[in-house]
A and B are shown apart, each in its own frame.
Chain A
Amino acid sequence: MIGVFKNARGLHAGGVLGINRRNAAYTLVHNRRELYPLVDDKLETKRLAEKAGVAVPPLYAVVEIEREIRALPQKLADREDFVVKPARGSQGDGILVVVGRSRDTYRLADGTSLTEAELAFHVSNTLSGVFSLGGQTDRALVEYRVQFDPVFERIAYRGVPDIRVIVFLGVPVMAMVRLPTRMSRGKANLHQGALGAGIDMATGTTLSAVWRDRIVDDHPDTGVAVAGVKIPGWDTLLDIAARSFELTGLGYVGIDLVLDREMGPLVLELNARPGLAIQLANRAGLAPRLEAARAAFANLASVVERVSFAKDRFRSVL
């Protein structure tokens, strides 16, 4: 029992943000409920971002009702690769990454293949809400498959690595890059076994990583050290992240970005309840950074100021 309190004090001293505190002090206070649909529905997010001039992966098709599924193969006839995702999916569930096709079968990023009927079944499941938050009926999006920048080639196992930035009151406070592993079957989701590498906010250089809630230094599949990779266009990434505040009105969000070889940084999605494993990836607690952002918020008028504040204050000390 005493050990429990000692541990709790230790975490508190480390500035670790727990899920109860995240909910009570940040998401419940700074994220107005009526704004959630903007980020819970990826189609909404995409439209919002496009309107604001923020780059997103181009949309190929939307399936809203069961009948439209039959027309899907035709619509995708001239697409060699694409991604199918539920509009309201959570934690990366239900995302299919098609990397190529041979006649009637689609090849997926994880090496398996899918017939046309199986793809239709997947889309149908998506529509009936199997992957959506709360099981509501859903829409399926088909969009451009990101050709990821070779920067992460050596530390990612297939799939598309993405960059998660936690933004509080428009100030990017912490970031990590999520690297797919064999275990995550090419998906950049920590719950599914992806690797999360912390990023130094000042320089955009990767730090050590977290894998399955353990701190690791090397990629579990490739054995290459994760740290020391400099992310190109870091300032642009931070700029996009900081803009998400004006974009959605949500005070506390996680923004997921990818680096496309041709199109540069693209916004994949926003999350109003971002996970807390990012703290392990950065070996730092979120709480002090959030409080620093809250304290400075009044004096930070522009996006530029917020970005430079983040770069200045949230330099990694590891």
Chain B
Amino acid sequence: MRRRHLLIVCLALALVGFGVFAYKVLWLGFPVRPDERSETWRVEARVTFEARGAPAKLQLRVPQSAGDLVVVEQNFVSPGYGLTTGFERGNPTAVYAIAMAEGMQTLYFRALVSRTLLQRNPPQEQAPELPVPNFGDAEQVAAQNLTEAARAQSADRETLAGFLLARLKDGKPTSEVGLLLGPVPSTLRILNVAVDLLRLAGVPARTVHGLTLEPERRQAQFIHWLEIHDEGRWRPIYPWENRSGPPPATLRWWHGQLPLAQVTGGTKLHHDVSVSRAYEHALTTAVRHGKQLEEKLVEFSVFGLPLQTQAVFRALLVIPAGVFLLVVLRNVVGIKTFGTFMPVLIALAFRETGLLAGVVFFSIIVAIGLGIRLYMEQLKLLLVPRLATIVIVVILVIFALSLLSIKLGFDRGLSIGLFPIVILTMTIERMTTIWEERGAGEALQQAAGSLVVGALCFVLMSSAYVSHLFFVFPELLLVVLAATIALGRYTGYRLTELRRFKPLAR
């Protein structure tokens, strides 16, 4: 009964811990390893126009998160301009406006885009009322012929669109297709005609303009494809070979026949879009991304704290890992240590000094303190003054060691001031008692045990990987908690007992 209860508690804790962990890794894209760089790009649109010394207004389409790409952050650089955002025929649009502008104007739009592991489907949407196109008399006939032929040879909207696109692409300039497209048509022209034909056939359709995100690209060109409305959603129809999708990491920017930018009160409108890979820590991206997706969750995590507090938690959150290791080393391996958690505190002190210097300093301080304490045994001091004496001696030794190591050009010496003085004092006192009562061997053995366990805890706790894991995924502490509780009912032999009781083995 107790066993089952324990198992349920541990499983529940581990499940919650791993669940949140998986959610953060898979959904929010938090990096599992420290310093992992994600696929993040900076996209910049630079728009220039010549103002006429009158009020000017610039409309610029801005991209939205779609598919596996997320617009993490966007900003508008527009000195002197007022900025509003809104929608223009279904497209998110930024409107830069100014009461009076003269000469060349330069405005920027910048966005940080990153890729997540999870593909998001376009939302359900009502079919929009799109205007039925007006063709000239001759074109009207050609268009009707084409759509009727297409309808006869297709099963649904998707195949209809595919068929029309195919016909338009390999049509000869003399045919009906040629009549509709005109001489040497661009891809965009073909798509626009396809949209008209689809609408004529009663299928809501629109052109889409996107940008392929590349590591480094100036004057990036938009690529275009179609979207048709089918079964309550907009579905992409790609005009490329075999109707394959666009290159990976293509950011859908806007749709329809509107241009990227429109200006009123200005001329010589020009825009230049560039893309570059952003080598930022994936973590920052994930958090920004999280802020858009799950603001609450992120705010409630470590990242909602001020930076200085975060540093404190970075240290605090790894302690359970050290404590767990201590439990393993004491209860499964069977190493004897002074005090229960003394080794973990030693390990924390080592964070400041580094392992080697820490072990050396610790040994020197304890050795000197022990020598003085054993000498003081002759003075027969009472307990509290005796402990106070050791505290003072320890501080003096620390001070002298710091001075000495600075003089020797060893700057690590400074950090031993942060050694836990009280812990050192209690170690010395306990070691003396054991030394006196059970002999030097036992005392040295326990001291060595404490030092070894402390060093191991330090190695674990200072590992960049471990500290990253617990800092970014504090929910893993629940898993550590579950493992610790489970170890609380570990009733097997300790490794040291295997040797101790070996003569009794059968």
Q: Are A20 and B505 in contact (CB under 8 A)?
A: no
Q: Are A128 and B505 in contact (CB under 8 A)?
A: no
Q: Which of A1-59 contact B (CB under 8 A)?
A: 4, 7-8, 10-16, 18-21, 24-25
Residue of A nearest to B382 (CB): A124
Q: Are B437 and A20 in contact (CB under 8 A)?
A: no
Q: Are B382 and A10 in contact (CB under 8 A)?
A: no
Q: Are A11 and B433 in contact (CB under 8 A)?
A: no
Q: Are A284 and B495 in contact (CB under 8 A)?
A: no
Asked if B186 CB lies within 8 Å of chain A CBs, one says: no
Q: Indicate which residue in B383, B489, B505 contacts A7 across the interface (CB closer than 8 Å).
A: B505
Asked if A206 CB lies within 8 Å of chain B CBs, one says: no
Residue of B nearest to A277 (CB): B500
Q: Are A130 and B490 in contact (CB under 8 A)?
A: no
Residue of A nearest to B505 (CB): A10
The CA-CA distance from A19 to B492 in the complex, in Å, is 9
Asked if B384 CB lies within 8 Å of chain A CBs, one says: yes
The CA-CA distance from A118 to B442 in the complex, in Å, is 25
Q: For residue A13, which residues in chain B have a CB less than 8 angstroms away from its CB?
A: 505-506
How close is B439's CB to chain A, nearest CB, in angstroms?
8
Q: For residue B383, which residues in chain A have a CB less than 8 angstroms away from its CB?
A: 124-125, 128-130
Q: Which of B379-396 contact A (CB under 8 A)?
A: 380, 382-384
Q: For residue A130, which residues in chain B have a CB less than 8 angstroms away from its CB?
A: 383, 433
Q: Are B380 and A118 in contact (CB under 8 A)?
A: yes
Asked if B504 CB lies within 8 Å of chain A CBs, one says: yes
Assess A11 versus B498: contact at CB under 8 Å? Given A191-B442, A215-B503: yes
Q: For residue B87, which residues in chain A have a CB less than 8 angstroms away from its CB?
A: none
Residue of B nearest to A95 (CB): B437
Q: Are B502 and A7 in contact (CB under 8 A)?
A: yes
The CA-CA distance from A125 to B380 in the complex, in Å, is 9
The CA-CA distance from A18 to B505 in the complex, in Å, is 12
How close is B443's CB to chain A, nearest CB, in angstroms?
12
Asked if A170 CB lies within 8 Å of chain B CBs, one says: no
Q: Are B489 and A24 in contact (CB under 8 A)?
A: yes
Q: For residue A276, which residues in chain B have a CB less than 8 angstroms away from its CB?
A: 501
Q: Are A10 and B506 in contact (CB under 8 A)?
A: yes
Asked if A159 CB lies within 8 Å of chain B CBs, one says: no
Interface residues on A, range: 35 or more
Q: Are B438 and A192 in contact (CB under 8 A)?
A: yes
Q: For residue A285, which residues in chain B have a CB less than 8 angstroms away from its CB?
A: 504
Q: Indicate which residue in A15, A20, A191 contacts B491 across the interface (CB closer than 8 Å).
A: A20
Q: Are A11 and B505 in contact (CB under 8 A)?
A: yes
Asked if B331 CB lies within 8 Å of chain A CBs, one says: yes
Q: For residue B294, which residues in chain A have a CB less than 8 angstroms away from its CB?
A: none
Asked if A153 CB lies within 8 Å of chain B CBs, one says: no
Assess A8 versus B498: contact at CB under 8 Å? Given A128-B383, A128-B384, A130-B383: yes
The CA-CA distance from A24 to B504 in the complex, in Å, is 21
Asked if B493 CB lies within 8 Å of chain A CBs, one says: yes
Asked if B277 CB lies within 8 Å of chain A CBs, one says: no
Q: Indicate which residue in B491, B495, B503, B505 contacts A25 across the interface (CB closer than 8 Å).
A: B491
Assess A16 versus B501: contact at CB under 8 Å? Given A21-B492, A25-B491: yes
Q: Which of A208-249 contact B (CB under 8 A)?
A: 213, 215
Q: Are A16 and B504 in contact (CB under 8 A)?
A: yes
Q: Are A191 and B501 in contact (CB under 8 A)?
A: no
Q: Which of B461-506 contact A (CB under 8 A)?
A: 489-495, 497-498, 500-506
Q: Are B497 and A11 in contact (CB under 8 A)?
A: yes
Q: Are B494 and A7 in contact (CB under 8 A)?
A: no
Q: Are A279 and B491 in contact (CB under 8 A)?
A: no
Q: Indicate which residue in B438, B495, B505 contacts A14 across the interface (CB closer than 8 Å).
A: B505
Q: For residue B382, which residues in chain A have a CB less than 8 angstroms away from its CB?
A: 124-125, 128
Interface 0/1 of B400-427, CB less than 8 Å to A: 0000000000000000000000000000
The CA-CA distance from A208 to B439 in the complex, in Å, is 25
Assess A191 versus B492: contact at CB under 8 Å? Given A10-B506, A14-B504, A128-B384: no
Q: Are A191 and B505 in contact (CB under 8 A)?
A: no
Q: For residue A125, which residues in chain B have a CB less than 8 angstroms away from its CB?
A: 382-383
Asked if A280 CB lies within 8 Å of chain B CBs, one says: yes
Q: Which of B196-227 contact A (CB under 8 A)?
A: none
Q: Are A14 and B498 in contact (CB under 8 A)?
A: no
The CA-CA distance from A11 to B502 in the complex, in Å, is 7
How close is B388's CB to chain A, nearest CB, in angstroms?
13
The CA-CA distance from A213 to B383 in the complex, in Å, is 33
Q: For residue A118, which residues in chain B have a CB less than 8 angstroms away from its CB?
A: 380
Q: Indicate which residue in B384, B442, B489, B504 contacts A11 across the interface (CB closer than 8 Å).
A: B504
Q: Are A284 and B494 in contact (CB under 8 A)?
A: no
Q: For residue B493, which residues in chain A have a CB less than 8 angstroms away from its CB?
A: 8, 11-12, 16, 18, 20-21
Q: For residue B502, which residues in chain A have a CB less than 8 angstroms away from its CB?
A: 7, 10-11
The CA-CA distance from A19 to B442 in the complex, in Å, is 19
The CA-CA distance from A10 to B500 in the complex, in Å, is 13
Q: For residue A24, which residues in chain B have a CB less than 8 angstroms away from its CB?
A: 489-491
Q: Which of B22-77 contact A (CB under 8 A)?
A: none
Q: For residue A213, which residues in chain B have a CB less than 8 angstroms away from its CB?
A: 500
Q: For residue A280, which residues in chain B have a CB less than 8 angstroms away from its CB?
A: 500-501, 503-504
Asked if A121 CB lies within 8 Å of chain B CBs, one says: yes
Residue of B nearest to A18 (CB): B493
How close is B390's CB to chain A, nearest CB, in angstroms?
13
A-B contact pairs, 16 of them (CB 8 A): A4-B495, A8-B493, A10-B502, A13-B505, A16-B501, A18-B492, A19-B497, A24-B490, A25-B491, A93-B433, A124-B382, A125-B382, A191-B438, A192-B437, A192-B439, A283-B504
- Pairs of residues from A and B, 6 with the lowest C-beta to C-beta distance, nearest first: A10-B505, A128-B383, A18-B493, A121-B380, A21-B491, A13-B506
A interface with B by C-beta (< 8 Å): 4, 7-8, 10-16, 18-21, 24-25, 93-94, 117-118, 121, 124-125, 128-131, 191-193, 213, 215, 276, 279-280, 283-285
Extra pairs beyond A13-B505, A128-B383 (16, CB < 8 Å): A4-B495, A7-B502, A7-B505, A8-B498, A11-B493, A11-B497, A12-B493, A16-B497, A20-B490, A94-B437, A125-B383, A130-B383, A130-B433, A131-B433, A192-B438, A284-B504
